[in-house]
Amino acid sequence: MGAQIGIDLNHAAELLSGGKLVAIPTETVYGLAANGLDSTAVAGIFAAKNRPTFDPLILHVGSIEQAKTLCSQWPAAAEILANAFWPGPLTLVLPKAPQVPDLVTSDNPTVAIRMPNNPLSLSLIRSLPFPLAAPSANPFGYVSPTCAQHVADQLGDRIDYILDGGGCDIGIESTIVSVSNENQVTVLRLGGLDLEALSKVLGYPVKESLNMHSNPQAPGQLDQHYSPNSAMLHMGDFSIDAILKDLQTRGHDGLGFLWFSPQQAQNFIEQFDGQTQQALTDSPLKHYYLSNNHSDREAAMNLFGTLRQFDKDGCKRIYFSWAPDGGLGRAINDRLKRASSKVVH
């Protein structure tokens, strides 16, 4: 029996007040929420996701006032960023207040806080006397969910309720920055808020500390993350002959291509002779496009749903191309890179 999906805010609030788990919609991805000040409830999140406790959680708040009760410092840069981008896809990492359980922060002296931009979840959080700890509502290491059904598919039997806010507008997790007492802003994870927008509001370029390697201090930065079950191969790492040979030896079953847009696919395919073009466009071969309009926002919104689709379609190997680098393209490429760093068998 799976968790019920619905829009009953009172029911969600009752469950959360009783220490239970509820999946909540946000503009980025769905979160798996529990009372963020209750260690026992928070332990339930780690168990349901199979998530190691060294990977800290984000606290979701309904106001700047509430955020201030969760951290011991609120530097001027935090005020500027919260005013400019909350509610929205930006997470602030700040020195933690004593009331935040160590399990939430994985014993780090800092806490991650954000105000999500979803009307249902904002109403829910504002009706509760505590913040909601919520990681993305997927089993650890798998692709994040961008609709209620994605959550039900994988965690339905482990949680109590799924609040249905429809599809996520942004579709990629929040941008995470740390803010020091000296107002230094450092990007820890690329995400739904592009860095140009951040720098513009601050008036100076932000520093970046993006680690592609396994680092227990910032586990969201683990190499292998956001992975579908299909192996993802970057097209640029292979010659066209190697790709054609792969098509020949494996047949078309379980093989596919992921493109940023039809335009990108066309530009790539057009450079080859007729026979090669034919081989690449043969009808049983699957082609997926992140955006029909060559738009970074649309591509971000579709990214995780498309990765899930590979698995539903039984794809074993996907050749993919990078998104153009501007706007959300960097965050999309970051997720593609992590999804593809899985060992290929």
> Which residue's CB comes closest to Mg ion?
136
- Compute the least distance from the CB of residue 270 to ligand TXA, in Å: 37
Chain positions 19 to 38 lying near ligand TXA, rule: CB under 6 A, are 26, 28-29, 31
Residue among 166 and 314 whose Cβ is closer to ligand TXA? 166
CA 216 to chain centre: 18
Binding site partner of 153, from ligand TXA, Mg ion, none, Cβ cut-off 5-8 A by kind: none
Report DSSP letters for 184-231, one per residue.
-EEEEE--SS-HHHHHHHHTSPPEE----S--TTSGGG-SS-SB-SSE
Chain positions 268 to 307 lying near Mg ion, rule: CB under 5 A, are none
Residue among 136 and 321 whose Cβ is closer to Mg ion? 136
Binding site partner of 101, from ligand TXA, Mg ion, none, Cβ cut-off 5-8 A by kind: none
Inter-CA distances, 187 with 180, 236, 307, 308, 336, Å: 12, 28, 25, 27, 19
Q: Rounded distance, CA 334 to CA 331, Å?
A: 5
Q: Rounded distance, CA 65 to CA 70, Å?
A: 9
Give the contacts of 207 (CB within 8 A, at least 6 positions apart): 184, 185, 186, 187
Residue among 233 and 303 whose Cβ is closer to ligand TXA? 303
Q: Where are the alpha helices (DSSP H) in 50-147?
A: 64-68, 76-85, 102-105, 119-127
CA 47 to chain centre: 19
**From candidates 66, 136, 146, 230, binder to Mg ion by CB under 5 A:** 136
One symbol per residue from 122 to 141: x for binding ligand TXA (CB under 6 A), - otherwise; what is it?
Answer: ------------xxx-----
Binding site partner of 148, from Mg ion, ligand TXA, none, Cβ cut-off 5-8 A by kind: none
230 binds ligand TXA (CB under 6 A): no
Q: Which stretch binds Mg ion (CB under 5 A): 67-75, 96-104, 135-143, 330-338?
A: 135-143
Residue among 26 and 261 whose Cβ is closer to ligand TXA? 26
Which residues in this chain contact ligand TXA in the complex, by CB under 6 A? Answer: 26, 28-29, 31, 55-58, 91, 93, 105, 108, 110-112, 114, 116, 134-136, 173-174, 176, 188, 218-220
